[in-house]
Chain A
Amino acid sequence: MFYGNIEWDISWAGFYDFILNELFEERIGEFPKFIEYLEAMKHVHVFIPYKDIVFISDRPIEINLNPQGRLHADLKPAFQYSDRYSLFYLNGVRVGKEIVQTSSDKLPAELILKEKNAEVRREIVRKIGTERLCIDLKAECIDKMDDYELLILDLKDGRKRPYLKMKNPSIDTIHIEGVHPDCKTVAQALAFRNGTPTYVKPVQLT
């Protein structure tokens, strides 16, 4: 099945439109079908032509992108037509409506255990946040040292993901960061984090 998207045609149509209007304005009348097509481009988005019938859609009423130019919108559709047909995307990844339209604090962490697609899982984590994921899914503490804990997050997908839980010594806040899968102790996790072969305790840490 052939189908077209007007966005694809804009480049070539714009080229000929420019030539016709700027160089051969007096010959515009010789190309009525092209002029008709240019007019249609203003209103049509996607078209699917068959022998005796062409299915068309109007242009979307809303398109939302992230700063990288990928389809993205939280709590609303990234892409919507006037009849409310919508597509939901997070950072360029097509996800289910419920993931987008549920606020991050109400999105259940268990959702990640059911999701099979790795990209969708990544977006769920990004939305829920690593901290809440580790807390809600009861990441297991396997080592402690000073104010640090090494947590293992098991998403029942055959991989154990270690996270380092730490306290900001200056403002008393807790945060959690992922560390390399080979880390088995807090010391190994800190060495990975600091980019040193073994853990070296800082002489000053604030």
Chain B
Amino acid sequence: MITQQGDVLFHLEKIPEGKFSKIKTNVIQEGEATGHAHRLHDGEYEFIQDTKTKERYLRVVKDSVVRHEEHKPITLPPGDYRIGIVREYDHFDEEVRAVVD
């Protein structure tokens, strides 16, 4: 199951075994050009990163809201989510990269 706000994807899936570090911010993704950001508000959550794979996860304990200047808010119900960023293909550089707004 996927929840999507703009370029950020929340994949509802079990967090794998591993070593994690806490991410001490409510900013999930910040736009380089615009300065706009996907931010967590309210609710109760734990934002963590796998120290080996660098994959980021969100453990939502109580309904949490994600807000962004250009998108309607989304509510994440309790559960474990892997954070993904959408990709694009540059046909002239011939490379895949994360979309940067």
User: What is the interface of chain A, defined by CB distance below 8 A to chain B?
Assistant: 118, 121-122, 125, 153, 159, 161, 168-171, 177-181, 192-196, 200-206
State the CA gap A101–B52 with chains docked (Å).
48
Per a CB cutoff under 8 Å, which of B11, B74, B91 touches A178? B91
30 contacts between A and B (CB under 8 A): A118-B92, A122-B92, A168-B6, A168-B71, A169-B72, A170-B70, A171-B70, A177-B88, A178-B88, A178-B89, A178-B90, A178-B91, A179-B88, A181-B89, A181-B91, A192-B87, A193-B86, A194-B2, A194-B9, A195-B9, A195-B87, A196-B2, A200-B1, A200-B2, A202-B2, A202-B3, A204-B3, A204-B4, A204-B75, A205-B3
Q: Give every chain B residue within 8 A of A194 (Cβ-Cβ).
A: 2, 4, 9, 84, 86-87
Would you give the shortest CB distance from B1 to chain A, in whole angstroms?
A: 6
Q: Which residues of B contact A168 (CB under 8 A)?
A: 6, 70-71
Decide yes or no: A206 and B72 within 8 Å by CB, A178-B88, A178-B89, A194-B86 being known contacts.
Answer: yes
Main secondary structure of the interface of B (DSSP, over half): strand
Contact residues in A for B70 (Cβ distance below 8 Å): 168, 170-171
Taking the nearest CB of chain A, how far is it from the CB of B3, in angstroms?
5
* Contact partners of B75 in chain A: CB under 8 A: 204
